[in-house]
Homo-oligomer: A and B are copies of this chain.
Amino acid sequence: MGKQMTEMLKGTLEGIVLAFLTGNPAYGYEITTWLRSQGFTEIAEGTVYALLVRIEKNGLVDVEKRPSEKGPPRKVYSLNADGEKYLEEFWTTWGFLAERLENLRTEGK
Protein backbone atom coordinates (compact mmCIF):
# COMPACT_ATOMS: atom_id res chain seq x y z
CA MET A 1 0.00 0.00 0.00
CA GLY A 2 1.15 3.52 -0.60
CA LYS A 3 2.88 4.96 2.42
CA GLN A 4 0.75 8.11 2.26
CA MET A 5 -2.46 6.08 2.33
CA THR A 6 -1.21 3.96 5.20
CA GLU A 7 -0.56 7.03 7.31
CA MET A 8 -3.76 8.75 6.28
CA LEU A 9 -5.84 5.73 7.25
CA LYS A 10 -4.70 6.07 10.81
CA GLY A 11 -7.71 7.34 12.64
CA THR A 12 -9.97 7.25 9.60
CA LEU A 13 -10.14 3.50 9.02
CA GLU A 14 -11.78 3.12 12.38
CA GLY A 15 -14.40 5.70 11.44
CA ILE A 16 -14.98 4.03 8.09
CA VAL A 17 -15.66 0.70 9.73
CA LEU A 18 -17.90 2.20 12.40
CA ALA A 19 -19.84 4.05 9.73
CA PHE A 20 -20.31 0.84 7.79
CA LEU A 21 -21.55 -0.86 10.93
CA THR A 22 -24.27 1.76 11.43
CA GLY A 23 -27.56 -0.08 11.17
CA ASN A 24 -25.67 -2.85 9.44
CA PRO A 25 -24.16 -5.51 11.71
CA ALA A 26 -21.31 -7.36 10.07
CA TYR A 27 -18.43 -9.75 10.73
CA GLY A 28 -14.73 -9.34 10.06
CA TYR A 29 -14.41 -11.19 6.83
CA GLU A 30 -17.43 -9.39 5.44
CA ILE A 31 -16.00 -6.00 6.39
CA THR A 32 -12.69 -6.83 4.74
CA THR A 33 -14.49 -7.85 1.55
CA TRP A 34 -16.57 -4.68 1.58
CA LEU A 35 -13.50 -2.49 2.08
CA ARG A 36 -11.86 -4.14 -0.92
CA SER A 37 -14.97 -3.51 -2.99
CA GLN A 38 -14.78 0.14 -2.00
CA GLY A 39 -11.34 0.50 -3.47
CA PHE A 40 -9.29 -0.17 -0.36
CA THR A 41 -7.83 -3.14 -2.16
CA GLU A 42 -4.71 -3.45 -0.10
CA ILE A 43 -6.03 -3.40 3.42
CA ALA A 44 -4.77 -6.54 5.12
CA GLU A 45 -7.14 -8.90 6.87
CA GLY A 46 -5.04 -8.70 10.01
CA THR A 47 -5.55 -4.96 10.11
CA VAL A 48 -9.32 -5.33 10.19
CA TYR A 49 -9.33 -7.99 12.88
CA ALA A 50 -6.99 -5.97 15.06
CA LEU A 51 -9.26 -2.97 14.64
CA LEU A 52 -12.32 -5.01 15.59
CA VAL A 53 -10.60 -6.30 18.72
CA ARG A 54 -9.78 -2.73 19.62
CA ILE A 55 -13.25 -1.25 19.16
CA GLU A 56 -14.73 -4.16 21.07
CA LYS A 57 -12.32 -3.59 23.93
CA ASN A 58 -13.23 0.09 23.87
CA GLY A 59 -16.88 -0.82 24.18
CA LEU A 60 -18.06 0.72 20.91
CA VAL A 61 -19.65 -2.44 19.55
CA ASP A 62 -21.65 -5.43 20.70
CA VAL A 63 -20.59 -8.87 19.55
CA GLU A 64 -22.60 -11.96 18.80
CA LYS A 65 -21.21 -15.30 17.74
CA ARG A 66 -23.07 -17.06 14.95
CA PRO A 67 -22.37 -20.35 13.19
CA SER A 68 -21.40 -20.05 9.55
CA GLU A 69 -22.53 -22.26 6.68
CA LYS A 70 -18.97 -22.37 5.54
CA GLY A 71 -15.96 -22.14 7.78
CA PRO A 72 -15.56 -21.23 11.44
CA PRO A 73 -18.23 -19.35 13.40
CA ARG A 74 -18.58 -15.63 12.69
CA LYS A 75 -18.29 -12.82 15.16
CA VAL A 76 -20.98 -10.33 14.22
CA TYR A 77 -20.33 -6.77 15.35
CA SER A 78 -23.00 -4.13 15.79
CA LEU A 79 -22.66 -0.50 16.79
CA ASN A 80 -23.96 0.28 20.27
CA ALA A 81 -24.87 3.60 21.90
CA ASP A 82 -21.30 4.44 22.85
CA GLY A 83 -20.19 3.58 19.33
CA GLU A 84 -22.77 5.92 17.84
CA LYS A 85 -21.61 8.74 20.06
CA TYR A 86 -18.01 8.04 19.17
CA LEU A 87 -18.91 8.01 15.48
CA GLU A 88 -20.60 11.38 15.81
CA GLU A 89 -17.42 12.83 17.27
CA PHE A 90 -15.51 11.22 14.45
CA TRP A 91 -17.63 13.02 11.86
CA THR A 92 -17.14 16.32 13.66
CA THR A 93 -13.38 15.87 13.73
CA TRP A 94 -13.23 14.72 10.15
CA GLY A 95 -15.50 17.53 9.03
CA PHE A 96 -13.16 20.11 10.50
CA LEU A 97 -10.11 18.53 8.90
CA ALA A 98 -11.76 18.06 5.53
CA GLU A 99 -12.88 21.65 5.46
CA ARG A 100 -9.40 22.97 6.22
CA LEU A 101 -7.85 20.74 3.59
CA GLU A 102 -10.44 21.65 0.99
CA ASN A 103 -9.63 25.29 1.57
CA LEU A 104 -5.95 24.60 1.17
CA ARG A 105 -6.45 22.68 -2.03
CA THR A 106 -8.65 25.21 -3.75
CA GLU A 107 -7.54 28.59 -2.48
CA GLY A 108 -3.90 27.82 -2.31
CA LYS A 109 -3.56 29.09 1.21
Which residues of A pack against B, CB within 8 Å?
2, 4-12, 14-16, 19-20, 22-24, 38-40, 89-91, 93-94, 96-98, 100-102, 104-105, 108-109
Contacts and interface: CB of A to CB of B under 8 A. Distances in A.
What is the total number of copies of this protein in its complex?
A: 2
Contacts of A9: 11, 97
12 contacts: A2-B89, A5-B11, A7-B10, A7-B11, A8-B11, A8-B12, A12-B97, A15-B101, A16-B100, A19-B104, A22-B109, A40-B100
Contact of A19 (B2, B7, B89, B105): B105
Interface hub of A16, A91, A105 (most chain B Cβ within 10 A): A105
